[in-house]
Homo-oligomer: A and B are copies of this chain.
Amino acid sequence: MKAGIIGATGYGGLELIRFLHQHPEVSSLQLFSSSEAGESFSAKYGHLQGIQDAPMEAIDEATIASLDVVFASTPAGVTSKLFPSLVDKGAKLIDLSGDFRLQNRAAYEQWYGKGAAPQDVLQKSVYGLTEWHADAVKDAALVANPGCYPTAVLLSLLPLIKHKLIDPSFLVIDAKSGVSGAGNKPSQGTHYSETNENFSIYKVNKHQHIPEIEQAISMFAGADVAITFNTHLVPMTRGILATSYAQVQPGVTQAQLVACLQETYAQHKFVRVVTDVNAIGTNRVKGSNYCDVFVQLDERTGRATIVGVIDNLVKGAAGQAIQNMNVQCGLDESTGLDVVPLFI
């Protein structure tokens, strides 16, 4: 298979390169850039010396359409314009930006502050939370790869909501992310001396992943759900841990909660149900495509603590994108992704 990446210079792009390089079914990889075409990739990213030295290419529709699969790891607002003319032209498309995740165009425009993708293309796109939508992904010409926070949140919450074990009406989701989620562009908020040894909260009640999470939860809850969702910056590079809180439905037990998660993911190797709280942490999934989930009922209050943990750059971005590619292309979903977490 011939693969391409548009916008490879971001961290999502770097992780796509890392995994595609060792993917047994990918024989060639081309990198496209609007602003840096012609530059050697390893001159910019020295860790790829001897691995990815070739220069980036200009974005050319015909070239892109001739590939088997194309990933876009671009800022919001790019693929909504770039992808419509490429859909069904040959290459399978996988978009890592938020442009095709929200079916509600007004919601996109409100939360992203940009024009939404065309309605007809949106309707063709499939939300690629792989474990939940593999059947649709299989036939999709365009996959909207989920956001990093929504991946950790939805994989841990959806089973409990679908099976009506928790009450979705007062759902508090407190999420924490490593700094790589902010991308590769320097700013005061990611300047080492001011980020190191600092735990902070950001975008209070304003994160653009809120409507994405609500869209998926509402679908399974069977009603419109408004969540409380906040995000924090952790002084580390990789990893997301999302802690959610909800009242359980009357009579629900800890055993039922755990069983629900275990049954849901029995056939899905990348989601692991962890029952030892000491084994829940971002370093347990670091560098890998795993999502670890955990649930604990507090008998005193009747509320459950539900945790989802991922590497934001892998299961939360590049890894899940390749998992979707595998499904789109009829491969085993774990092809090329079967790596062991680094832990340390």
Contacts and interface: CB of A to CB of B under 8 A. Distances in A.
Interface of A: 11, 14, 17-18, 21-22, 43, 45-51, 170, 172, 174, 176, 178-180, 182, 184-205, 226-228, 230, 232, 234-239, 241, 243, 245, 247, 269, 272, 274, 276-287, 292, 294, 296, 298, 300-301, 303, 305, 307, 313, 338-344
**Ranked 10 nearest A-B pairs via Cβ:** A46-B279, A200-B281, A198-B283, A186-B186, A174-B174, A205-B298, A47-B284, A47-B343, A18-B340, A192-B195
A125 B284 CA distance: 37
Given A237-B344, A342-B18, A344-B14, A194 B283 contact: yes
Contacts of A284: 46-47
A271 B262 CA distance: 45
Contacts of A230: 243, 305
A175 to B, nearest CB: 10
A239 B199 contact: yes
26 contacts: A22-B338, A46-B276, A48-B340, A50-B269, A50-B272, A51-B340, A176-B232, A178-B197, A185-B191, A186-B188, A186-B190, A196-B196, A196-B237, A197-B237, A197-B283, A198-B283, A199-B239, A199-B281, A200-B241, A200-B280, A200-B282, A201-B277, A201-B307, A204-B277, A204-B296, A342-B342
A174 B232 CA distance: 11
Given A197-B238, A235-B236, A239-B197, A228 B190 contact: no
Given A18-B340, A22-B339, A236-B235, A277 B202 contact: yes
The complex is assembled from copies of this chain, and their number is: 4
Contact of A228 (B237, B279, B305, B339): B305
B192 A179 contact: yes
Q: Which of A188, A198, A307 has the most CB of B within 10 A?
A: A198
